[in-house]
Amino acid sequence: MSGSPHSPRRQRKAHFTARPFRRRLQMAVPLSRELRRRFHRRSVPVRKGDTVRVLSGSYEGREERVARVVRRDFALVLDNVTLKSGEEKLKPLPLKTNHLVITRLNLADAWRRRALRVADEDVTAEERGETPEEPEAAAPAPAALSGAAPPPAAEEPEAAAPAEEDGDA
């Protein structure tokens, strides 16, 4: 007598022998309430660069960025979530997707934006993976080029060098 096609044994076998493209879909992580309202989806396959909140375990409540997706083990590696090994070394702690909620999506990929039906003008620079600190760092540069006085850090080494030469003579 053969078992049912929906038997637990066959479900487990299908899960652990799944091809990589199926594993990607099985590793979908639920979206936060704000993202659900915005994208009208309940869950999305997780990617490197997404920011997730840990729901259970010793890292509960932390929001970290996904550093790596390990499809073979159905696990994610997050930045700054580590475990001490036997040799007192810090190694990344892989987490299962059912312990996580996506709080910020990485929308740098145009294919993902199309899949979520997001217009390019609706995506912020932070969601595209561009850091907002770069424009701020570039803003003071034109002021320095316009003839303003150089920063005080550049004057200190010059003032320190002649004082040492006077002391040696």
Domain 8-132 is found in CATH 2.30.30.30: yes
Q: What is the DSSP string of 62-79?
A: -EEEEEEEETTTTEEEEE
pLDDT of residue 18: 93
Domain ranges (residues) in the chain: 8-132
Q: Is 82 helix (H, G, I), strand (E, B) or coil?
A: strand
pTM attached to this predicted model: 0.70
Q: Which residues of 46-55 are buried (b: 16+ CB within 10 A; e: fewer)?
A: bbebbbbbbe
19-41: pLDDT as tens digits:
999 999 999 999 999 999 999 99
